[in-house]
Amino acid sequence: MKNEIPKEIKNELEKKGGWDKIKKELPSDDIKTTAEVMKILSDERRIKILYGLYQQKMCVCMIAELINCPYSKCSYHISKLRNAKLIKAIKKGNYIIYSLTKFGRSIVRHFNKYKPEDN
């Protein structure tokens, strides 16, 4: 490390095996996956879909009305959420019914943890 660091931090680093070990042990696959999911979640319409599906399974016409967009654009958002394994689809007759995956449900449950705290 090029810069001088506080003694308290230096002691912590020594106990943990050093700065190089800390950098090396970062979970690169987890970081990549998290970044990809965060990109998916950066769209307000997709978050609205997740909140809606948390309350109720839906067909595409319901999702399109929920986010107020044409089917083609709605299909794009659904595809992004499916690729991220946040929602799943089951064919029932002429309909495709969308619902949250276990992962999707856990994400929605954790949304409330990411609100700013009042000081």
Same domain, 112 and 55: yes
Same domain, 48 and 36: no
* pLDDT value of position 2: 64
Same domain, 35 and 53: no
* pLDDT value of position 101: 98
Same domain, 49 and 93: yes
Q: Which domain holds residue 7?
A: 1-40
Same domain, 115 and 83: yes
How many structural domains does the chain have?
2
* pLDDT value of position 114: 76
* pLDDT value of position 112: 73
Its pTM stands at: 0.80
Rounded CA-CA distance 73/78 in Å is 9
Show Cβ contacts of residue 53 under 8 Å, excluding neighbours closer than 6 positions. Answer: 87, 98, 99, 100, 104
Q: Which residues of the chain have pLDDT under 70?
A: 1-2, 118-119
